[in-house]
Structure 1
Amino acid sequence: MTFTIYGIPNCGSVKKARAWFEEQGRDYTFHDFKKQGLDAATVDTWLRRVDWSVLVNRKGTTWRQLDAATQAGVHDAASARALMLAHPSVVKRPVVVKGQAVVVGVNPEAWSSVK
């Protein structure tokens, strides 16, 4: 089973992740949110393994462009799920998945520990 890296190709964090996997000689598949979208089943899987507050990037451009009411409406897993499906770019990147493991953000130590 190979890793899947979810993100957008021009994101600096995604570039770092892809470079690390290539340097380590680890196989991965890249899932581009912009071209391939993000489906509910994938988001639901992430939410079973990672807290919603980790998945929502409150520091990114997409979040800052949302109106205050939308931002305030994100207060639990269900509201975060709806936001991520409507605006995939609000997901903290990269999301790296292999089997049951889901690692959010640039974390080579965690990636190394996934077998």
Structure 2
Amino acid sequence: MITIYQHPQCSTCKKTRAWFDEEGIAYELKDIREERPDRESIRQAIASGNLTLRRMFNTSGNLYKEMQLKDKLDSMDLEEALDLLESDGMLIRRPFVTDGTQITVGHDEEKLSTTWK
């Protein structure tokens, strides 16, 4: 089963949900504020080479800005960054879509088509 970790009011998440609906692909929704992707899923997304560590962060989010992570990320090791991402779902770029094997992050219709069709 495909799981979409999302914020209900996020316009990017809404676009991704609409894409899945239009394609007739079943999914389960999880509110990223309450249920976050597990550490290994985040690590897998980074290890796949599709995303840099910085791209895993919701850089436009208020929490990212409040914590001044733009200036701190380069000096963090992977485990420190994973600790942060695991601590608060609002730090994670969304939507985070996974079936336990494949992962896409953000809304990119080409990647959605390639990965989920």
Do both share a fold (TM > 0.5)?
yes
Q: Which residue is 2:97 aligned to?
A: 96
Q: Which runs of 4+ in 1 moved over 4 A?
A: none
Deviation at 1:17, TM superposition (A): 0.7
TM-score by length of 1: 0.79
State how 1:7-86 maps to structure 2 within 5 Å.
7-49=6-48, 50-66=51-67, 68=68, 70-75=69-74, 76-86=77-87
Q: Distance in 1 between matches of 2:35 and 2:97?
A: 16
Q: Which residue is 1:5 aligned to?
A: 4
Deviation at 1:63, TM superposition (A): 0.9
Relative to structure 1, is the Cα distance of residues 99 and 19 closer, same or farther in structure 2, using a 3 angstrom cutoff?
same
| Aligned AA (2:86) | L
Paired residues, number: 112
Deviation at 1:37, TM superposition (A): 3.6
Look up the SS of the partner of 2:110 in the other structure.
helix
Deviation at 1:78, TM superposition (A): 2.5
CA-based RMSD of the aligned residues comes to: 2.1
Deviation at 1:83, TM superposition (A): 1.4
Relative to structure 1, is the Cα distance of residues 99 and 86 closer, same or farther in structure 2, using a 3 angstrom cutoff?
closer
TM-score by length of 2: 0.78
Relative to structure 1, is the Cα distance of residues 18 and 103 closer, same or farther in structure 2, using a 3 angstrom cutoff?
same
Greater alpha carbon shift after TM alignment, 7-16 vs 99-108:
99-108
| Gapped regions of structure 2 (runs ≥ 5) | none
